[in-house]
Chain A
Amino acid sequence: MIEFCQVSASYDGELAILRDVSFMVSDGDFVAFVGTNGAGKSTTMRLINGLLKPTSGEVLIDGVPTSQLKTSELASKVGFLFQNPDRQICCKTVREELLFGFAAQGRAGAEAEAKVDAMIERFGFDGDAEPFLLNRGTRQLLALASIIVLEPPIVVLDEPTTGLDFRECAKVMEVVSDLNARGTTVVMVCHDMEVVGDYATRVIAMTAGQVVADGATFDVLRDADVLSRAHLLPPQIVELSMRLAQEGAVSPTSPVACANTLDGMERALAGEVGVRGKGDAK
């Protein structure tokens, strides 16, 4: 569980980056942080794993303030995937890279080896390959694998899909989504609203260091006021549905006006046409 209690934070005592931020993430949640560059999302992520300590207020991980823990101590609870995998990867082989976290946390041993082998199998890696020679998408997957092999109860992802192509992005997000389905709490920063809409169950929108909205994914992404305040663009289907309702093509309570996904919208439109078709036939 992650709790932010009126957290403010800044770098080097400069102007506050985060002002009076409060929220709670329960175990098993899948939360996406959205907002413009510089809204304070990455800062929030760094506060979760203790790389940054709040200047006021408290960040609690499972009830323990991060100010009492070192980042290295928090590492077993919070797995953190950085935006740039090249800053994380440091070993000579894929296998060593996956074992690295176990060694750093003093958990090396037969059990660790077994978990690493299972991970190599699952991702289809070549255990002896040199990480820096892999392509960008595979490096990102390796960085993710080397975090989740440690099985932390919370995983924090800072823009996990930036710089990846469509297939790589889908692969990374499938892994994350599977992780969440098995009970891991996932917190991510993401600019791609289609990804947010597809995977996150809850969205926290930030702007200028403050939380402007916190709620179920599509409640937030359908709130015109929030969208404009946080400079967000909704997923295309949501935008379409809002536009159709706005322009009076469908009633605001119709399924079309509430459809959020591609499948949902297709069904809703077909249904709407079916009903109207029957109406016309009379």
Chain B
Amino acid sequence: MIEISQLSFRYREGADPILKGIDLSIPDGAFVGVTGAAGSGKSTLTYAINGIIPHCYPGDFYGSVRVDGVDTCEASLTDISRLVGSVCQDIDSQMVSSVVEDEVLYGLENFGVPKTEIPARVDEALAAMGIAELRDRSIAELSGGQKQKVAVASVLALKPRVLVLDEPTAELDPASSVAVFDLLKRYSVEHGTTVIVVEQKIALLSEYVDTLVIVDEGEIRFCGTPHEVLEHSDKLLEIGVNCPRSTSLVNRLRARGLVCGPAVCTVEGAVCACEGLLSGKGACA
């Protein structure tokens, strides 16, 4: 679905390239989490996918990014937007309307979706985010979690093939963060939509994504399933990426020779590993 090859990018005002020789291939329908330390280039990587670079921020762009066969440098931002839906970090300034329903209508109107189809699309998008009852509410009155769901719904209504989200849970409490990821995951599975999320909360990513991408100083350090990536917990720590505590615990138990098997990503995984250990089955010979 997305083919990035030898991508390098330097912002015009930046001295050093923010991305250096990125190669990444994302299959159709994947749920991808991107993380890394501040300033590692993880957000810029998503800008390359939704066309914000090179179309909105000037700079030196080398290599190529293809989304569904379309070269993002050659296509216009508007054309890329037909394929890739983007939810920006600052959702407050993203909102163009004062009422939820109008916010969802906006993109549908612009992209010329037939007017007979529009009501059904609005219903569907609101339902997918579980906010059907917010339809007539004023956006200013909504909580952070509700606003985030509106922002996602207004992009989902366009039925993009790829959905890119930049730190969608930064301002949310843990319960709302989990709720947003639950909805994204379900949508991705049901509609086969490719989802790419930049996120600081590694525990959340480890639980939901099927591919975890770790960016460090403009390069992809690790890319694989959370199990594979979290094997490298020590190296991750060196580049400023924490591991979920469950992973750290099980890794320590493995180091002591108490537990075998792959790295765990979730509390659930740690529970299994510990139960195995306590029942005597998990102990290594």
| A/B touching: CB–CB < 8 A | yes
Interface residues, chain A, with chain B CB atoms under 8 Å away: 35-38, 135-137, 162-168, 191-194, 231-233, 235-237, 239-240, 243-244, 247, 249-250, 256, 262, 265-266, 269-270, 272-273, 276, 280
Total A-B Cβ pairs within 8 A = 108
Q: Which residues of A contact B173 (CB under 8 A)?
A: 35-37, 191, 231
Q: Which residues of B contact A273 (CB under 8 A)?
A: 258, 277-278, 283
The CA of A239 and the CA of B39, in the complex, are separated in Å by 32
Residue ID in chain A nearest B237 by CB atoms: A166
Is the pair B144, A193 in contact by a Cβ cutoff of 8 Å?
A: no
Residue B115, interface by CB 8 Å: no
Q: Are B38 and A164 in contact (CB under 8 A)?
A: yes
Identify which of residues 249-285 in chain B touch chain A, using a CB-to-CB cut-off of 8 Å.
Answer: 249, 252-253, 256, 258, 267, 270-271, 274-275, 277-280, 283
Task: Say yes or no for B154: interface residue by CB 8 A criterion.
Answer: no
Give, as a whole number of angstroms, the nearest-CB distance from A190 to chain B: 10
Interface residue? B110 (CB, 8 A) = no
CB contacts under 8 Å to A, within B6-52, are 36-39
CB distance from B119 to the nearest CB of A (A): 31
Q: Is B188 in the interface zone, CB < 8 Å from A?
A: no
Cα(A167)–Cα(B236), bound, Å: 12
Q: Which residue of A lies closest to B171 (CB)?
A: A162
Q: Which 5 A-B pairs rank lowest in CB-CB distance, beginning with the nearest?
A: A236-B245, A231-B175, A166-B242, A165-B38, A167-B240
CB neighbors of A among B47-84 (8 A) = none
Q: A residues within 8 A CB of B160?
A: none
Q: Complex formed: what's the CA distance from A280 to B249 in Å? A: 25
Q: How far is the CB of B255 from chain A (nearest CB, A)?
A: 10
Instruction: List, in ascending order, chain A residues with CB within 8 A of B240's CB.
Output: 165-167
A38: which B residues are within 8 A, CB to CB? 143
| Interface residues in B, total, Cβ within 8 A | 41
Apart from A167-B37, A191-B174, list 8 A-B contacts with CB within 8 A: A38-B143, A236-B246, A244-B274, A249-B274, A249-B275, A262-B252, A270-B258, A273-B277
CA distance in complex: A240, B252 (Å): 15
Residues B275 and A236 in contact, CB atoms below 8 Å apart:
no
Whether A262 pairs with B245 at a CB distance below 8 angstroms is yes
Contact surface of B with A, Cβ cutoff 8 Å: 36-39, 143-145, 167, 170-176, 178, 200, 202-203, 240-242, 244-246, 248-249, 252-253, 256, 258, 267, 270-271, 274-275, 277-280, 283
Chain A residues contacting B252 (CB-CB under 8 Å) are 262, 266
The answer to whether B249 touches A240 (Cβ under 8 A) is yes
B167 to chain A, nearest CB (A): 8
Contact flag A37-B245 (CB < 8 Å), given A166-B37, A168-B38, A244-B275:
no
The contact of A247 among B145, B167, B174, B271, by CB within 8 Å, is B271
Write out the residue numbers on chain B whose beta carbons fall within 8 Å of the beta carbon of A256: 274, 278
Indicate whether A240 sits within 8 Å of B38 (C-beta atoms), given known contacts A165-B240, A250-B278, A280-B280: no
Q: Return the chain B residue nearest A161 by Cβ.
A: B200
Whole-angstrom distance between the alpha carbons of A37 and B179 in the complex? 13
Q: Are A235 and B174 in contact (CB under 8 A)?
A: no
